[in-house]
Amino acid sequence: KGGDATLFALFGEVKFASHVRQRALEEMPKLELLRAAAWAVEKVGGESAALASDSAGWLEGIPEVQAVFKYSEPPAPWWSEAEDRALIVGTLRHGWGRYDAMRADVELGLEVALERAAAAAAAATTESQSREGSGTPRSAGSSKRKRSSLDQRSSPDLEGKENAPHNMDSASKRLKPGAVAGVHRECDVAAAVESGEEMAVPEWPLGRVLSLRLRRLCTALGGKVAVAPPAPKQAKPARGPRPPREKGSRGGGARATAAVGSMDKNARAVHQISLLTRGEDGKVVLPVGPIHGVTLESLGAVQPPDAPGFHSAAYILPVGYRTTRQYMRCDDPNGPRTRWVQEIVRGEGDDEGKPLFRLTADEGLDEPIVAKSATAAWAEVLRRVTAVRMANGEEAKKTAISGPEFFGYSLPHIRLLIEELPGVNDCTEYKPLLERSVTAEAFASAEEGPGDASVEQEA
């Protein structure tokens, strides 16, 4: 009666019941894996038969286990198929995760395998040091004799530390812990000695590494794929021959690629303009935006057709055109952004009658920046920002800026609004946005407008 009361008190607690269920969810998959391992060991003839040297290879005969050997790394460089068999039998004998008990089990031979690997590594290091001291290369005969002595040392009769070389401990201490791990199996030690490779001290694998190996082996013994082969590299489809380029046509590059998909942008721009407020005269009430970071303040006036540089097949540059946008300050790139005013003006003096692009800022700029193209104006801003960053010991960042896009006159909705200005029909060279062909060839053959380029530099 007292026992029943105790059990009721324990399992009646909600937290304890939840703990039991959680442990059950964790342990049940392990039991399923161990059942597959127990069935495989029993099929071979029991634990002793599974560990016997004459039954070596029964794991390799299972296709799923072959995939584990082929597509996953062993727990340690000295690990072999014999250690995998010992790991399976040791788990059935001592329990899941009890790797210290497995290592101490003499019949499993895991500790002996580790000592053999340590002895082989010590012998290889000692031989390499003696060769370096003598300065003479090893002959083929001596290499053969060394391999023969190692074969005798690695015979099945080797059991325990008493059969290991007497200088194993001292030689192991001289091994470089951070050396590149070589192959620690005795049959390959002679090759390591010949190559002069310094071998790391063999170590016992971590518990989580052994658990992962055990899960994969038991899953494979259950007939399931534990390690999938790497996905084959898919061959790239063969590219067909490029169509011949017409004589006199230009390479489209990024602009041609953008032109192919520009129909959606144009449709969105038409929809945006239809939603704008218009005055009694039918003109759009300004300002408009920000759209794509640009606020349209003034459309300006279209220049006569004989005014050079103010219109091309791609753009129209009205005098008095003005937009604003937020951007970093020239004197403090890491501080708050400031408002930049972008304008198209008519040049004077040496630039009489030519379009000029002017930038002013509310903060961080003493005098306006004036350039012959929109991209050149913003390139000057980036140059000043770079100078400030370098003066502060900062690393310059690469920034790409398209002048027409920053000024805004290349954006579809602003181009459509410019096309509503008086005098556009007189610009016979200009091709209206909605009438232009959306093919890459037609766009590439169109003449570039002023400042129709982008700049990429550190800022």
- Considering only CA atoms, which of 362, 345, 361, 455 is closest in space to residue 405? 455
- What is the C-alpha separation between 255 and 434, in angstroms, rounded? 17
- What is the C-alpha separation between 410 and 402, in angstroms, rounded? 10
- Considering only CA atoms, which of 455, 402, 436 is closest in space to residue 312? 436
Answer whether 83's CB lies under 8 Å from 236's CB: no
- What is the C-alpha separation between 385 and 364, in angstroms, rounded? 11
Assigned token pair, 267: 């449709």
Which amino acid is residue 410, in one-letter code? S
Answer whether 362's CB lies under 8 Å from 438's CB: no
- Considering only CA atoms, which of 266, 286, 318, 313 is closest in space to residue 423? 318
CATH of 253-458, one of 3.30.160.360, 1.20.200.10, 3.90.550.10, 3.40.50.720: 3.30.160.360
Q: Which of 154-158, 327-331, 353-357 has the lowest mean pLDDT?
A: 154-158
- What is the C-alpha separation between 52 and 376, in angstroms, rounded? 81
What is each CA distance from 276 to 11, 285, 286, 289, 310, in whole angstroms? 71, 8, 9, 10, 27
Assigned token pair, 281: 């005269």
- At residue 273, φ and ψ (nearest 5 deg) are -65, -35
10 Å Cβ neighbour count for 344? 24
DSSP, collapsed to helix, strand or coil, labels residue 325 as strand
The predicted structure's pLDDT at residue 358? 94
Average pLDDT over residues 29-42: 88
- The residues, ordered by sequence, that sit 6+ positions from 229 with a Cβ below 8 Å of its Cβ are 67, 70, 71
The predicted structure's pLDDT at residue 431? 86
Q: pLDDT tens-digit profile of 113-164? A: 888 888 888 888 887 777 766 655 544 444 443 333 333 333 333 333 333 3
At residue 324 the predicted structure's pLDDT band, cuts being 50, 70 and 90, is very high
The predicted structure's pLDDT at residue 265? 80
The predicted structure's pLDDT at residue 224? 83
- What is the C-alpha separation between 59 and 88, in angstroms, rounded? 11
Q: Which of 279-288, 349-358, 442-451 has the lowest mean pLDDT?
A: 442-451
Average pLDDT over residues 168-185: 37
The predicted structure's pLDDT at residue 245? 62
At residue 62 the predicted structure's pLDDT band, cuts being 50, 70 and 90, is confident
Domain boundaries, given as residue ranges, for the chain? 2-221, 253-458
- What is the C-alpha separation between 186 and 366, in angstroms, rounded? 78
Q: pLDDT tens-digit profile of 66-122? A: 888 888 889 998 898 888 889 999 999 999 889 999 989 998 888 898 888 888 888
The predicted structure's pLDDT at residue 157? 37
Q: How far apart are the first and last CA of the chain?
A: 83
